[in-house]
Amino acid sequence: MGKSIAFFDFDGTLTSRDSFADFLLYSFGYWKLIIAAFILSPILIRYVTGFIDNSKAKELLYHYFFLGLSDTQLKDLGEDYVANRLSKIIRPLGMQQVRWHLSEGHMVVIVTASSEYWVQPWAHKNGLCCIATKLDKRHGILTGYYAGLNCHGEEKVSRIKSEYDLKNFEKIYAYGDTPGDLPMLSIAHIKNYKPFVVP
């Protein structure tokens, strides 16, 4: 006891925009996104109108963009994105809070529905742990599907509990910005909802 841990959602909480969309734009270019939006428009309409959920819609995008890429190719794209782009969408107030936790000796964990291919290298670069959505691969080639479940909603709590014994922490902090983060906030002693959004 006596230890503290802080769980941070990533997209919208620590970033000013969705990192998945930003990663796609940076890595594949504007025109490929326009073509994808046209081809996938029936799926996107079903998502907007509530016929399919966020997790399924995102998996279909993973399938469209990542199917057939090698694990090494996607790792290289992720590392390039972290090195040259991701810092531009990080909220300064969010990073200030992350650094405060680190200065206090707290463990800091990013818990995100985005892919580990770009969030994990960013987290490790900043001395943070990372729980992210994993993507399936066969013989080193991406299938375009999840490996397990999308790390969203209740799955965030399941993944946290599978990696950390929360009874070992005297204080648990959590930061999020959408209803999908509420299950994670519910396990925290100190809850922060949309804490870094500047009016």
Q: Give the CATH number for residue 77.
A: 3.40.50.1000
Structure tokens that stand for 102 in this block = 């680190």
Q: How confident is the model at residue 1 (pLDDT cuts 50, 70, 90)?
A: low
145, part of any domain: yes
CB 19 within 8 A of CB 118: yes
Predicted confidence (pLDDT) per residue in 55-112, tens digit: 888 898 899 999 999 999 999 999 999 999 999 999 999 999 999 999 999 999 999 9
Mean pLDDT calculated for residue range 36-54: 79
- Sign of torsion over alpha carbons 151, 156, 161, 164: positive
Residue 89 resides in a domain: yes
Domain housing 158: 3-193
Query: Is residue 80 included in any domain, yes or no?
Result: yes
pTM higher than the cut 0.85: yes
- What is the phi-psi region of residue 105: left when phi exceeds 0, alpha when psi lies from -120 to 50, beta otherwise? left
Taking the C-alpha atoms of residue 64 and residue 7, their distance in angstroms, rounded to an integer, is 30
pLDDT in tens, 143-192: 999 999 999 999 999 999 999 999 999 999 999 999 999 999 999 999 99
134 part of a folded domain: yes
Query: Residue 54 in contact with residue 152, Cβ under 8 Å?
Result: yes
Rounded CA-CA distance 149/4 in Å is 27
Measured CA to CA, the distance from residue 74 to residue 118 in angstroms comes to 9
Looking at the structure of the chain, the number of domains it has is: 1
Per the domain annotation, does 199 fall within a domain? no
